[in-house]
Chains A and B, each alone.
Chain A
């Protein structure tokens, strides 16, 4: 049985990136995550009631069935069985900007997003939820409708692996811009049954476009989780030299003395993230800033939290 340290390692993006097979990655991440959830408040929140068991130290107090306690004067914990009525959609941004990574020690945002999406897919399939996948950039690259059969996982992982293997290129033909709004509108129009939409993107689009698409989902009663994925360097802007910044989506070149721009850049990114967070909050959208060195469990936890709220 893996130790606590091993379990954390399974959630570390860099460690996990050493594995080649995406299904293995997804399984390891989820199992590491689930094992870490043992004795956690989230255990059993997504299953139907199955039976009582005696309280054990470490169990959450609120899980105690106080009615049984009143009757028997003993502590019993309620245990649940899984549900199967959730339809989840993973929206993955595959634009060229997602291929950015600031260091060899880090994953590109795309790879991180793929791993995360794989883990989520695995988790959702394990919970017998239906999972769909949308790969997009400036246009819809791939749409996989949601299904809950275990074999569907292989389809999803296959698509994700192909997306990870094709991060775009440096030439004008292979560069892919981000147009989130259009993709969200597309999907919102396609899915009618209420479900959970998880958007994994760096949101390098105009905020009003992003919000328009998200609001479209909310309008159709979907629950939306936005995992705003950024590289640490995109937030901290640690550059010191005079550099020529080459836009990975447009190829534009911008010469700048980076240390002169850094403070203003950081302020702007912070303001941008706050703005997105505020707008998401206004529309009951979960907004989670994620960095590509963040352990996967943070994102998975946010998913589970959201799923629990759906029940």
Chain B
């Protein structure tokens, strides 16, 4: 932006109107008519004398009129001078305060924090991130001066804007801020900026500013970077920032790089490898000014005001499944917890509560959690659990309370979507034979139909009534069709003896994996190690395939080596092998494997099972499992063994629980859906949420019958559908978004990548006012041009009447 800019540039087109006087002049010249006159000698003498003066006056008039119109157009376009001489002026501003009221902002500030020696009373009272955000927002409001306007945007989903247009009265904003409380929803970054954009774009003040006050959770920032394909760039800049301490120095009291180290070493295996894609994708650190990836209006100053977020020690219950025991009325709750802190936690206490009428403790369990890692516990429930029981799993309190509860409707079982990618179309008998056993094992109900018919998309996942034991929804697709998909809508992708894969499919798979999806790879005859390593494994993790290893019957005769390989656990206590009655060193099954592919595990890999001879059989990396033999009968008789089905189930469930399956459970901010019997009168239905608060509903007809849809729910808990006439509907458990639980803040480089290089980051404690007010200088020139236009018209009027130059 140069020193001269325009707040209402559309009116610059009005400059074309400056040509009107010239046009009128030319047209009027053409209209001059002939008039016979007796004698023109006098006129001639006069004009000869006056001609210079008259021409001068005519040109002056023309110039004055043209300039007057141009000045009027310029005044309407509201020019602003920000060059020399404008420093003394302070232009009017329209500001948008985006305050993050997602539930992560409820996190307590570190109780052990060291406050500055000049800490005020308000500093001491800051108990949560949101309290600090509120104080910073009030500081921003205090900067408002006469003529300024402001609007407030609360970023939790759904985005809340208390006043639909900017307001002049700061007291309204202060009152709204005092009333605000964090909500149980996640932050909606894109939605918040999209709400702000039209409101700011229409503002005709000199300055337009956005203040974002948030804890800037790293996982959410990275999610947007990945969506924009800029994650690698941010990671690259991170490493540069790490090598250049000068960049972290204080600049005018604003510590721009104070948290540059937050990302280093934070990456761990359990989360799912957020930074896997940086390999080979890092862009050179181009130093041109990058714009924001969020919809920030043009010529808007963006200020990032992070709250203190050094404390990240938080455990969240990410997902829970009730596994009913068909032999009894009870069952077990499988719950996964994620430790976002760096320190390991021993024996995290877990409780399973029944919340039908009151709150009843059903079972307790404990879970060991490594630092920045997830683990799952299976808590057996000794008592009977009815289909309509409502269960809540609770963990020990920590920084953030809301994610220590996980609600679960016992009658509802999550079904997880598995995309089976085959080496060719299922119509091919060879392919069908390869896929038969895995498909039947994972989806015994619909598997036969999948094998007989053309592959079709699975049913939409939805809570199903108790009694259904099916755990997975399968969709099959050939590897050639995979690349044609826009995105992968599944929890786990099973690559079943897929030989080659297109670049588009590989990219899709990489994106899916980077977003937390699980990938299970089973090899076979079509798999070429070299191709696989470069096309697939290089994108997903560090492990590599080596050579084909076959059992040698001759060797068996000459040596003690076996003619086949057996499969046995390498990590006996791993959840995949839970329930297998195994003695140490005992094979998982009697299955005999004749061929396998050698695997070289990467640095993050764990070998969970191995074949005899020490060959890795099941290798795990974050979000990735590789089974180094075939899952059909071509390389072994494993499919016919008793261990095949539980092994495959557990492997897929391991990926499900370690991945993003929980994202498909109803979360705060979602709309709940219940299919309705067609004969049920919608008027008789009421949806009651936690505390029996009624939720607005609408009933819409669909091809499969009427469906009830609620408004977006705002609180976690159980939502019941009450109908007159005794029709029973399953309750739906709504939980908080686990993505809000990771309290780690973004790095400076990630912030610059997402918000653009021109965003100004102002750390807590830095002087906000000076930084902001200095950027608001500028001289609005519309009054000057309006007065000039008026003066020009006055002079024109005098000149036209002959009072000037007379």
> Which residue of A202, A248, A265 contacts B43 across the interface (Cβ within 8 Å)?
A265
Q: Which residue of A lies closest to B37 (CB)?
A: A245
Contact A249 B39 (CB under 8 A): yes
Residue from the list A109, A239, A264 in contact with B38, Cβ < 8 A = A109
Docked pose: A264 CA to B28 CA in angstroms: 23
Interface of B is mostly: helix
Asked whether, in the complex, the Cβ of B43 is within 8 Å of the Cβ of A246, the reply is no
**Cα(A302)–Cα(B29), bound, Å:** 46
Q: How many angstroms between the C-alpha atoms of A135 and B29 in the bound complex?
A: 41
Q: Is the CB of A100 within 8 A of B37?
A: yes
> Which residues does chain B contribute within 8 Å of A249, judged by CB atoms?
38-39
Closest to A203 in B: B39
Provide the bound-state CA to CA distance between A177 and B31, in Å. 29
- Contact between chains at A268 and B46 (CB < 8 Å): yes
Q: Do B39 and A247 touch across chains, with their CB atoms under 8 A apart?
A: yes
**Residues in A neighbouring B47, C-beta threshold 8 A:** 254, 256, 261
> Could you say which of B29, B34, B43 contacts A261, with CB atoms under 8 Å apart?
B43
**Alpha-carbon distance between A256 and B34 when the two chains are bound, in angstroms:** 11
Taken together as a complex, chains A and B put the C-alpha atoms of A303 and B464 apart, in Å, by 129
- Minimum Cβ distance to chain A for residue B219 (Å): 77
Known: A242-B28, A255-B32, A260-B802. Contact between A204 and B46, CB under 8 A?
no
A252 partner residues in chain B, CB cutoff 8 A? 40, 44
- Are A254 and B44 interface neighbours, CB within 8 A? yes
**Residue A97 is within 8 A (CB to CB) of chain B in the complex:** yes
In the complex the two chains form, is A243's CB within 8 Å of B42's CB? no
Nearest CB in chain B: distance from A275 CB, A: 13
Which chain B positions have C-beta within 8 A of A109?
Answer: 38
CB contact between B33 and one of A244, A256, A269 (< 8 Å): that residue: A244
Tell yes or no: B504 within 8 A of A by CB.
no
Residues in B with CB closer than 8 Å to A255 are 32
Number of B residues contacting the other chain (C-beta, 8 Å)? 23
Interface of A is mostly: mixed
Pair B50/A202 contact, Cβ less than 8 Å: no
Q: With the chains together, A297 CA to B44 CA distance in Å?
A: 35
Size of chain A's interface in residues, with CB distance under 8 A? 33
Which residue among A97, A244, A253, A260 has the maximum number of chain B CB atoms within 10 Å of its CB? A260
User: Does B54 sit at the interface, judged by CB under 8 A?
Assistant: yes
A241 interface contact, C-beta 8 A = yes
Residue A257 lies at the interface, judged by CB distance under 8 Å to chain B:
yes
Task: Write the chain B residue with the least CB distance to A252.
Answer: B40
State whether A254 and B32 are in contact (beta carbons under 8 Å apart), knowing that A261-B50, A264-B46, A268-B46 are contacts in the complex.
no
B35 within 8 A of A: yes
Please, which residue of chain A has its CB at the minimum distance from the CB of B32? A242
A243 to B40, CA, bound (A): 12
Question: Is B774 among interface residues, defined by CB-CB distance under 8 A?
Answer: no
Interface membership of A31, Cβ < 8 A: no
Q: A255-B32, A260-B54, A260-B802 are in contact. Are A246 and B37 (CB under 8 A)?
A: yes
With an 8 A cutoff between CB atoms, is B45 at the interface? yes
A246 touches B35 (CB 8 A): yes
Q: Do residues A245 and B42 form an inter-chain contact, with CB atoms below 8 A?
A: no
What distance in Å separates the Cβ of B384 from its nearest Cβ neighbour in chain A? 107
The reply on A231 being an interface residue by CB < 8 A is yes
A12 CB–B CB distance under 8 Å: no
Inter-chain CA distance A202–B44, complex, in Å, is 18
Q: Are A239 and B44 in contact (CB under 8 A)?
A: no
Please determine whether A248 and B38 come into contact, CB atoms closer than 8 angstroms.
yes
Which residues of chain B have C-beta atoms less than 8 A from A246's C-beta? 34-37, 40
Residue of A at shortest CB range from B31? Answer: A242
A311 to B32: give the CA distance in the assembly, Å: 55
Closest to B54 in A: A260
Q: Does chain B have a CB within 8 A of A138?
A: no
Instruction: Name the A residues within 8 Å of B40 (CB-CB).
Output: 245-247, 250, 252, 254
Taking the closest CB of chain B, its distance from the CB of A230, in whole angstroms, is: 8
Report yes or no: B35 in contact with A257, Cβ–Cβ below 8 A.
no
Interface centre among A202, A255, A256 (most CB of B within 10 A): A256
A109 to B29, CA, bound (A): 31
Q: Is A234 an interface residue (CB 8 A)?
A: yes
Give bound CA distance, A248 to B41, whole Å. 11
Asked if A264 contacts B50 (CB within 8 A), the reply is yes
In the assembled complex, the Cα of A253 lies from the Cα of B41 at a distance in Å of: 11
Counting chain A CB atoms within 10 Å of each CB, the highest count among B29, B32, B33, B45 belongs to B32
Interface centre among B33, B38, B802 (most CB of A within 10 A): B38
Residues of A within 8 A of B29 (CB): 242
Q: Could you give, for residues 160-179 of chain A, a 1 whenever the CB lies within 8 Å of some chain B CB and a 0 otherwise?
A: 00000000001000000000
Q: How far is the CA of A159 from the CA of B58 in the complex (A)?
A: 50
**Contact (A247, B32) CB under 8 Å given A261-B47, A268-B45:** no
What A residues does B58 contact at CB under 8 A? Answer: 257
> Which of B28, B35, B39, B42 interacts with A239 by CB under 8 Å?
B35
Q: Which residue of A lies closest to B33 (CB)?
A: A243
A243 touches B35 (CB 8 A): yes
B-chain residues with CB within 8 Å of residue A204 when the two chains form the complex: 38-39, 41
CB neighbours (8 Å) of A253 from chain B are: 34
Complex CA–CA separation, A247 to B39 (angstroms): 5
Contact status A100-B50, CB under 8 Å = no
Chain A neighbourhood of B42, CB < 8 A: 265, 268-269, 272
Contact yes or no, B43 A241, CB < 8 A = no
Q: Are A241 and B32 in touch, CB under 8 angstroms?
A: yes
Name the residue of chain A whose CB is nearest to the CB of B802: A260
Whether the pair A244, B35 counts as a contact (CB closer than 8 A) is: yes
Given the interface pairs A242-B29, A260-B54, A264-B50, the reply to whether A254 lies near B34 with Cβ below 8 Å is no
A97 to B46, CA, bound (A): 19
If the complex has contacts A202-B38, A202-B39, are A244 and B46 also in contact, measured as CB distance less than 8 A? Answer: no
By beta carbon, the residue of chain B nearest A97 is B38
In the complex, A245 Cα to B802 Cα: how many Å? 22
Known: A242-B28, A243-B32, A268-B45. A257 touches B54 (CB 8 A): yes
- What is the chain B residue whose CB lies nearest that of A109? B38
Using CB atoms, name the residue of chain A closest to B42.
Answer: A268
Interface of chain B residues 596 through 629 with chain A (CB within 8 A): none
Chain B's closest residue to A178 (CB) is B39
Kindly supply a per-residue 1/0 record for chain A positions 29-43, scoring 1 wherever the CB is within 8 Å of any chain B CB and 0 otherwise: 000000000000000
**Chain A residues positioned under 8 Å from B32 (CB to CB):** 241-244, 255
CA distance A244 to B54 in the complex (A): 16
* Cβ–Cβ contact B35 & A245, under 8 A: yes
> Which residues of chain A are within 8 angstroms of B38 by Cβ–Cβ distance?
97-98, 100, 109, 202, 204, 231, 234, 247-249
Q: What's the Cα separation between A178 and B721 when bound, in Å?
A: 114
Q: Which of B169-198 contact A (CB under 8 A)?
A: none
CA distance in complex: A170, B36 (Å): 9
Chain B: minimal CB distance from A256 (Å): 6
Contact mask for chain B residues 39-67; partner A; CB cutoff 8 A; 1 contact, 0 none: 11111111100100010001000000000
Contact A256 B43 (CB under 8 A): yes
Mark A223-241 against chain B: 1 for CB-CB distance below 8 A, else 0. Answer: 0000000010010000101
Q: Specify which chain A residues have a CB less than 8 angstroms from the CB of B37 in the assembled complex.
A: 100, 245-248
Closest to A108 in B: B38
Residue numbers in A under 8 Å from B41 (CB-CB):
204, 247
In the assembled complex, the CB of A216 is this many whole angstroms from the nearest CB of chain B, namely 24
On B, residues with C-beta under 8 Å from A are: 28-29, 31-47, 50, 54, 58, 802
Can you name 28 A-B residue pairings with CB atoms under 8 Å? Answer: A100-B38, A170-B36, A204-B38, A204-B39, A231-B38, A241-B33, A242-B29, A243-B35, A244-B33, A245-B37, A245-B40, A246-B34, A246-B37, A247-B41, A248-B36, A248-B37, A248-B38, A252-B44, A253-B34, A254-B40, A254-B43, A254-B44, A255-B32, A256-B47, A260-B54, A261-B50, A265-B42, A268-B42
Nearest 8 interchain pairs by C-beta = A100-B38, A97-B38, A247-B40, A245-B37, A204-B39, A242-B32, A243-B35, A244-B34
Residues of A in contact with B (beta carbons under 8 Å apart): 97-98, 100, 109, 170, 202, 204, 231, 234, 239, 241-250, 252-257, 260-261, 264-265, 268-269, 272
Contacts beyond the supplied A243-B35, A248-B37, A265-B43: 13 A-B pairs with Cβ under 8 Å: A202-B38, A239-B35, A242-B29, A243-B32, A244-B33, A244-B34, A245-B37, A247-B37, A252-B44, A254-B40, A256-B43, A269-B42, A272-B42
